[in-house]
Every structure is written in C-alpha cells, then in structure tokens.
Structure 1
Amino acid sequence: MQPRFVIVPAVPIEQESFRAGTRFYATTVSGGFDIYDNQEKMRLKPSYQGKEEAMAHCARMNAEDSSSPVNCPAYLMQT
C-alpha cells in the first residue's frame, strides 16, 4: 500500500529572465522538496531545502497518520 505522504521535488523558482532574439529564457533554481498528500491530492507547505529534512518530516507525518483509524470499506480491510 502506498503511504499517505510522499516527497516530491518542489516547483523550480524563477530567478531572472532575459531575451535573446524573439525568445525569452529564464534561469531557475531548485525549489527544494514538498510533501504530497496522496489522500487529499495536494502539496503541503512549507517546502524543505534539504531532502533529509523533508524525509524526516514525511516519516513523522506517516507515523502519526497510521495510528488513526482507516476509513475504507470492510471488503478492502485486511484480516
């Protein structure tokens, strides 16, 4: 079963843009890492700069979530 919270790369942040001829180019920097909630289908804030920090917070959130009751039909529950 897939965990509820997973780590995903954050959206890159545009630092500056410049024009070369008729095209515009943007330089970007990594936005770090976000935690994605598979149940709510959304990214959670804040973003984390380091992957280790994001992994630690994600593991803590998954541990807290697994202690709560599972809301699913009885035929899907393991016996």
Structure 2
Amino acid sequence: MISRFVVVPAIPTETGSMRNGSRFYCQTAPIGFNLYDNEEKLRLKTSYQTREEAESECLRVNMERFQGVLSERETIPIL
C-alpha cells in the first residue's frame, strides 16, 4: 500500500546569479524537505529543516488519515 504523504527534498530557492564568461549560473539555497500528497499530486507548503522532522510529521498525518478511514468504516452499517 502506498502512503498518501511522503517526504521529498524541497525545491531550492534561487538566491541570485553570476556570470562566468558567456554563461550565467544560478545560485540556489537548499530549504530542507516537504511532504508530497500522492492523492492530490502536490507538495504541501510547509518546509522542514531536517529529514527527521519531515518524517515524523509525515507519519503523523498518515496516521491521522488512517484513523479517519477506520472511523468511517466503523460508522457504515453492514447490510
């Protein structure tokens, strides 16, 4: 089973550019990690500085979703 939320590296932000001869090089700064929603196919806005922080939040939101699915199944009457 694929988890709904997974940890992915964040997209670096551009901090400027420099020229070397005829080429321009983009300078970027890493910003950590994001959670990716596999159902909605998008990154969540919140960034985490370390993978451990992102992993713990990912586990928390996946468990919340799992608990919600279980509670929905318990409320559906079986005919």
| TM-score, shorter chain, exceeding 0.5 | yes
Q: Which residue of structure 2 aligns with residue 4 of structure 1?
A: 4
C-alpha distance in 1 between matches for 2:62 and 2:29: 29
User: What 5-or-longer segments of structure 2 have no aligned partner?
Assistant: 71-79
Cα deviations across residues 3-52 of structure 1 (Å, max 9, x unaligned)?
00000000012222111121101222212100000011110011111111
Measure, in 2, the Cα distance between the counterparts of 1:13 and 1:31: 7
1:58 is matched with which residue? 58
Q: Residue type matched to 2:14 in 1?
A: E
- d(CA) in 2 for partners of 1:12, 1:59: 24
- TM-score using structure 2 length: 0.81
Aligned residue pairs, count: 70
Over 2 Å off, 4+ runs: none
TM-score (norm 1): 0.81
One-letter identity of the residue aligned with 2:37? D
For 1:14, what is the secondary structure of its paired residue? Answer: strand
Could you say which residue in structure 2 is the equivalent of 1:67?
Answer: 67
Aligned-pair identity in percent equals 51
Tell me which structure has the larger Cα radius of gyration: 2
Distance in 1, matches of 2:15 and 2:49, equals: 16
Aligned to 1:37: 37
Partner Cα separation in structure 2 for residue 49 and residue 69 of structure 1: 30
